[in-house]
Amino acid sequence: MAEVEETLKRIQSQKGVQGIVIANSEGIPIKSTLDNSSTVQYAALIHQLLLKARSTVRDIDPQNDLTFLRVRSKKNEIMIAPDKDYFLIVIQNPSD
Amino acid sequence: LDKSSVPTPRHHVRVYDEEENDVTPQPLHQGECGAGPIKNNRFFLDEISAGLSVDQMTTTGSSFSLPFSRSILSSSKFSSQSSIDSVNLETEEGFSKRDLPIHIPDAQSKKSSPVKEEVTEENLDELLDVFLSETDTISLLDLPSCFVSSEAEDAQIVTERNKKYAELCKNKAGNEKYMERSVQTLDPPVKHKLVESDSVNTAEAGTFVSTWEMFDSLCGLEQDASVRTESEQEQVGTETLLSSSRAEHSTSLGSSSGTESVTSSMKDLESLELLSVSETDLQLLLSSDTFHHSLLAMERSLVANCLQRKLAAFRLLPVLPDPYVAPPSETPEEEQAQKSPEPEVSGPALVHLWSFTCELTQGRRVNSMVWNKKNPDLLAVGYGASESSSSPGLVCCWSLKNITWPERVVSCDSPVTALDFSVKNPSQLAVGMEDGTVMICNVQTHHSSSSSSHFLHSRQCPNKHVEPVLQLKWTLQEISLREDTDEALVSVATDGRVCKWLSPTVDSHMMRLKRVKSAKRSSSSENKGETKPENILSALTPGMCFHFHPKGPVINVWWSPLCSDVFLSCSSDWTVQLWKEERFTPALSFSSAHRAVLDAQWSPKAATVFGVVNEDRLEIWDLQHSILDPLLVWAAPPSVSLTSLLFTSHTDCALVGDNSGQVSVYLLSEVYSAQGTQAEALEEIIQASLSR
């Protein structure tokens, strides 16, 4: 457990990381380093995106499954690690 | 009138229609039920007794020409219009002009339906006075005939019409032109009737079925299908007990996917109520293995994002500029780093790419570095002691995918002096330490706490080293009885012994190779006094003894990987010597700085290139270029002294470790010429130098 906390701290201190959000499988955030409104917004929107992405991948081949999702935008990059019970979002701006 | 309408105050009226069905209207309010019809009844009778002398001829046009019995049943609304009832009798006369022969029998049949009055228990004992009187004759319908004189003008027309009518009547029965059809002329008054019933609770459940959900339900989740259906049924049951407002919530979330729709909507309602996840759930989630894996993947992606260019340069890939980063915002160092892989730099250069360092390794001396044999991106680094931390020795396995934190950290009881990865079992790492212990650990399993069950120590071994282990090597040996090669671990320590650890899984077997008398070669074991540490390092065969430096202790010896009988030795007498096999004097000697040479290594890519680490410089020599001066010199930062060197086999990089715990990666750009120099070139140089 301490190791997980340590890893999260290391991730937070990586270059350009703007925030980390951990949410459960329904899109309710359970841990976050952003402010409340942003957290809720990210969690809800990313949850929708995840459902769509996962269903896309699995519709093409049901034996396949989504393991990682990266959304690169002009200002930053949103990286999403999904799972059955949770999903982890990290927002990074690497040119910071 | 068979209605003995006695003005008894309370009677329950029962109404039956012609089929004897009870069509008694159920009153909503019990108080007034009895009064209404009775009142109405009375009113009607009064009117009738008054005769038909009402002048109001309102042609309401509505079908208030009710038969007598039905008027009794009317509601209070009708009772207000009962004054019009008498009028309706008049209007019936008006209707007589029309041909409505059909309805007369209906009216008459209705008239005869009886009305029964119920006698309650209370009224049974009452004495009733019954008055009987005869009412006037009531004429319901009177159709007087119309007489036309036969001498009138239109008598002919009337006669014709009469004849036609007679014929019509005759032909009517059975004629196809005519059809019996009933027409309702009555418009019964509307009565509001309210019904109370239990509200039906509804709950909506939706699911979105896709191909993969069907796949899941067929294949993957069969084991817990039984468990899940039970839980789902429970949850469906509880859902139906919810109020309608919550049912709305579940419908709005029903569009979410899969078999989890029922369960998820239930959970969502709970979370809407609670708005928090319990602490234990959070802990459970965060400590799960998949979460570790996600964190790992995330960290690597983050690091890779920052280091995209450096890694590309490392792997000799073309470095692409980021299209969204505006050029003026780049710092000058970035621009330089960007430009250096391009051939704008004149001549060979060392480019610093990154450093493997973290807070664990701060202040520790890098003693040994080795690449993994199977995974060329995995680097194991052995560290010595640092002043601040607790564990005296440390082994870190770094991966190129994450340069900010090592993948594995193993803390040891004494400073680590030698490392090697096994060839046959690529996840086994042999660690030699300053107190003479040789340890084998398995880096494949990720253990958060260093459980010594993974390690094999040489501590219990009676013949173990007691002096610092200087070098470790896994060597492949051929066993005479078997055909395959077995791997043995050879270690050399300062106490002068070379130990071979056979069957590394069981570290009890040990064979001793004497340094002095080797079966293969006669050695000159002179210089005992001066050469304290000696290294036997063989990339090819074990058991060879070597000649030693004349002046100072030999620190390291390296065979050339491309040229099979040439090797380098470096020592603290400031020189690096190039030896050829079967010669007792060095073929070439290199010295450029007045410092002890700590490490020297051949470059695996070119036969004539090797690197040398002094205390404060890294030198890259290219024998083709010059045998007197190094090709490249890179000076270390003032407070740092470099301690070890390692080349990469698949790319043009060199790793340099220093005494502050950093392992820096340098790209050797332009060092290697276009065609790889091979052994022949080296041989030529050596011959040339020897012949002088």
The SS3 of residue B331 is: coil
pLDDT at B675: 56
Strands B349-356 and B617-622, sheet pairing: unpaired
Residue among B286, B297, B303 minimizing CB distance to A14: B303
Strands A29-32 and B510-513, sheet pairing: unpaired
d(CA A19, CA A13): 10
CA distance readout (Å), A35 to A20, A27, A78: 11, 16, 17
d(CA A22, CA B283): 12
Over residues B447-460, the pLDDT tens digits come to 544 444 356 666 65
Q: In this complex, is the C-beta atom of B404 within 8 Å of any C-beta atom belonging to chain A?
A: yes
The residues facing B373 across adjacent strands are none
Asked whether residue B109 carries a pLDDT value surpassing 50, the answer given is: no
- For B272, which residue in chain A has the nearest alpha carbon? A28
Q: In this complex, is the C-beta atom of B305 within 8 Å of any C-beta atom belonging to chain A?
A: yes
Q: Which of chain A's residues have a Cβ under 8 Å away from the Cβ of B299?
A: 7, 10-11, 14
Residue among B268, B299, B322 minimizing CB distance to A10: B299
pLDDT at A53: 93
Tokens of B493: 């320590």
Q: Which of chain A's residues have a Cβ under 8 Å away from the Cβ of B290?
A: 83-85
Q: Which of B684, B683, B10, B670 is nearest to B351 (CA)?
A: B670
Tokens of B109: 């049949």
The answer to whether the CB atoms of A4 and B292 lie below 8 A apart is: yes
pLDDT at B475: 66
d(CA B71, CA B46): 14
d(CA B406, CA B381): 10
Phi, psi of A60 (to 5 degrees): -70, -45
Element (H, E) at A88: strand A86-92
Asked whether residue B212 carries a pLDDT value surpassing 50, the answer given is: yes
CB B542 within 8 A of CB B500: yes
Using alpha carbons only, give the angle B148, B151, B154 rounded to the nearest 5 degrees: 60
Q: Which of A10-14, B285-289, B359-363, B502-506 has the lowest mean pLDDT?
A: B502-506
Of residues B190 and B322, more confidently modeled = B190
Q: Which residues of A touch B (CB under 8 A)?
A: 1, 3-4, 7-8, 10-11, 14-17, 22, 24-26, 28, 30-31, 51, 55, 58-59, 62-63, 67-68, 70, 74, 77, 79, 81, 83-86, 88, 90, 92, 94-95
pLDDT confidence bin for A89, thresholds 50/70/90: very high
pLDDT at A80: 93
pLDDT at A70: 93
- For A92, which residue in chain B has the nearest alpha carbon? B302
Work out the mean pLDDT of chain B and round it to a whole number. 64
How many Å is the maximal CA-CA distance in chain A? 39
Element (H, E) at B252: helix B244-252
- The secondary structure of residue B22, as a DSSP letter, is B
Q: Tell me the shortest Cα–Cα distance from A15 to chain B, in angstroms.
A: 7
d(CA B331, CA B674): 32
Q: Which residue has the tokens 């979105």?
A: B208
CB B432 within 8 A of CB B494: no
Residue among B210, B288, B294 minimizing CB distance to A81: B294
The answer to whether the CB atoms of A62 and B215 lie below 8 A apart is: yes
Q: In this complex, is the C-beta atom of B209 within 8 Å of any C-beta atom belonging to chain A?
A: no
d(CA B685, CA B692): 11
pLDDT at B305: 81
Tokens of B116: 């029964």
Q: Tell me the shortest Cα–Cα distance from A41 to chain B, in angstroms.
A: 15
Question: Residue B594 corresponds to which amino acid?
Answer: H
pTM value > 0.80: no
Asked whether residue B262 carries a pLDDT value surpassing 50, the answer given is: no
Q: Which of B162-171, B327-336, B681-690 has the lowest mean pLDDT?
A: B327-336
Return the CA Rg of chain B: 56
Asked whether residue B259 carries a pLDDT value surpassing 80, the answer given is: no
d(CA B380, CA B397): 4
pLDDT at B446: 61
Percent of chain B with pLDDT over 70: 49
Q: In this complex, is the C-beta atom of B282 within 8 Å of any C-beta atom belonging to chain A?
A: yes
B103 Cβ contact list (under 8 Å, min separation 6): B185
Of residues B600 and B78, more confidently modeled = B600
Q: Which of chain B's residues have a Cβ under 8 Å away from the Cβ of A14?
A: 299, 302-303, 306, 404
d(CA B275, CA B267): 11
The residues facing B635 across adjacent strands are B617
- The secondary structure of residue B8, as a DSSP letter, is -
What region does B61 belong to: left with phi over 0, alpha with psi -120 to 50, or beta? left
Q: Which of chain B's residues have a Cβ under 8 Å away from the Cβ of A88?
A: 291, 294-295, 298
Beta-carbon count within 10 A of B113 CB: 16
Q: Which of A18-32, B527-541, B560-574, B605-619 has the lowest mean pLDDT?
A: B527-541
- For B327, which residue in chain A has the nearest alpha carbon? A95
The residues facing B602 across adjacent strands are B610
* Residue in B295, B325, B405 to test binding to A, most A beta-carbons within 10 Å: B295
* Residue in B255, B287, B299, B305 to test binding to A, most A beta-carbons within 10 Å: B305
Q: Which of A54, A44, A95, A91 is nearest to A71 (CA)?
A: A91
Q: Which of B39, B19, B22, B15 is nearest to B117 (CA)?
A: B15
CB B549 within 8 A of CB B531: yes
Q: Which of chain B's residues have a Cβ under 8 Å away from the Cβ of A90?
A: 298, 302
Asked whether residue B690 carries a pLDDT value surpassing 50, the answer given is: yes
Q: Which of chain A's residues have a Cβ under 8 Å away from the Cβ of B308?
A: 94
pLDDT at B506: 40
Angle between helical axes of B244-252 and B260-274 (0-180°, round to 10): 120
Element (H, E) at B398: strand B393-399
Q: Which of B591, B590, B599, B601 is nearest to B659 (CA)?
A: B599
d(CA A29, CA A40): 7
pLDDT at B240: 40
pLDDT at B295: 85
The answer to whether the CB atoms of A30 and B277 lie below 8 A apart is: yes
The answer to whether the CB atoms of B268 and A83 lie below 8 A apart is: no
d(CA B686, CA B566): 10
Q: Tell me the shortest Cα–Cα distance from A94 to chain B, in angstroms.
A: 5
pLDDT confidence bin for B553, thresholds 50/70/90: low
Mean pLDDT over residues B665-671, rounded?
A: 77
Beta-carbon count within 10 A of B574 CB: 17
Q: In this complex, is the C-beta atom of B56 within 8 Å of any C-beta atom belonging to chain A?
A: no
A63 Cβ contact list (under 8 Å, min separation 6): B215
The answer to whether the CB atoms of A3 and B271 lie below 8 A apart is: no
What ipTM goes with this model?
0.85
Long-range CB pairs of B585-592, under 8 A, 24+ apart, other chains included: B587/B686, B587/B689, B587/B690, B588/B623, B588/B627, B588/B685, B588/B686, B588/B689, B590/B621, B590/B627, B590/B628, B590/B630, B592/B619, B592/B629, B592/B630, B592/B633
Tokens of A77: 């990059």
Over residues B286-309, the pLDDT tens digits come to 777 788 888 888 888 888 888 877
Of residues B232 and B239, more confidently modeled = B232
The SS3 of residue B366 is: strand
d(CA B518, CA B510): 17
Over residues B158-203, the pLDDT tens digits come to 888 889 988 888 877 766 777 778 877 778 788 888 988 888 889 9
Q: Where are the beta strands (DSSP E) in B414-501?
A: 416-421, 428-433, 438-442, 456-457, 469-478, 485-493, 498-501
The answer to whether the CB atoms of B210 and A58 lie below 8 A apart is: yes
Element (H, E) at B91: helix B82-95
Cα dihedral value A21, A26, A28, A33, nearest 10 = 0
CB B589 within 8 A of CB B578: yes
C-alpha of B300 from chain center: 18
| DSSP assignment string, B257-281 | -STHHHHHHHHHHHHHHH-S--HHH
Mean pLDDT over residues B325-351, rounded?
A: 51
CB B282 within 8 A of CB A30: yes
Asked whether residue B522 carries a pLDDT value surpassing 60, the answer given is: no
Mean pLDDT over residues B651-660, rounded?
A: 82
pLDDT confidence bin for A71, thresholds 50/70/90: very high
Strand B609-613: give its sheet, edge to edge. Answer: B599-602, B609-613, B617-622, B632-635
Residue among A28, A55, A79 minimizing CB distance to B301: A79
C-alpha of B59 from chain center: 79
Q: Which residue has the tokens 């329950």?
A: B12
Q: In this complex, is the C-beta atom of B306 within 8 Å of any C-beta atom belonging to chain A?
A: yes
The SS3 of residue A82 is: strand
Q: Which of chain B's residues have a Cβ under 8 Å away from the Cβ of A92?
A: 302, 305
CB B565 within 8 A of CB B544: no
